Amino acid sequence: MISPDDAAFDLFIRHSHATDHPDANLRRAARLGYGQRGVRIAPGAIVRLSGGGRIGCNCFVGLYSYLNGEVVLEDDVIIGPHCSVTSNTHRFDPATRAFTANSSAPIRIGRGSWLCAGCSVTAGCSIGRGNLICAHAVVTRSTPDYAIMAGIPARQVGSIDPESGAYHWNHRE
C-alpha cells in the first residue's frame, strides 16, 4: 500500500495532476516507455499493456483513461478522456457461485480511430480503421472500417467517407 509519505505517492500525485500540455504528454509517454514514436499520454492515464499489447506511432491516450492487457493501438489513434480499454475479463464459476480468475481476449483499435470521452471497449473487440466511437459508447462487438458507433451497447449509426471525410448518418424512418 502506498502511504502519503512514500516517494511513489508523490510521483503518482505529480503524474495525475500534471499539465496536459502536448510537450508534457510526450515526456510522460517517454517515462512510461512509449515516447519514441510520437505517443502522448495525458495526466492520470494508466497504461498496463501485456502479451502482444502495443501502442503505434502518433497515438494519444487521454486524461484518466485506462488501457490494460493485450491491447493494440494502431498508428494515429486518439483515445479521449476517461475511456476504458481492457482485454481482461472474468468468468462466473457455478461451483463457487462467484466470478473467478481473469481470462483475456485481445483488443485491436484500427488506425486513425477516435474513441471519444468515456468510451469502453470490451475484451475481444476489434475496432475497424478510421472509426468514430461516440462519447460514452460501450463497444461489445467488433466494428467495420470507417464506422460511426454510438450507444450502450454500441451500434453503427453512420459511416465516414474515407475519401472526403464526410459523415453519413443512418436515418430511422
CATH number where 105 lies: 2.160.10.10
Q: What is the pLDDT along the chain (173 residues), one digit of tens a residue?
A: 556 667 766 666 665 566 778 888 998 899 888 877 899 999 999 999 998 999 999 999 999 999 999 999 999 999 999 999 999 988 888 999 999 877 889 999 999 999 999 999 999 999 999 999 999 999 999 999 999 999 999 999 999 999 999 999 998 64
Residue 146 lies in a domain: yes
2 falls within a domain: no
Determine the structural domain holding residue 27 and report its residue range: 7-164
Is 1 part of any domain? no
| Any domain includes 149 | yes
Where would I find the H helices in 7-158?
A: 7-16, 22-31
- Whether residue 30 is contained in a domain is answered as yes
36 assigned to some structural domain: yes
Number of domains into which the chain is organized: 1
Q: Residue 124 burial by CB count (10 A; 0-12/13-18/19+): exposed, middle or buried?
A: middle
Residues 127 and 111: beta-carbon distance below 8 Å = no
Q: Is 169 among the domain residues? A: no
Query: Whole-prediction pTM value?
Result: 0.86
With respect to residue 171, please indicate whether it lies within any of the assigned structural domains.
no
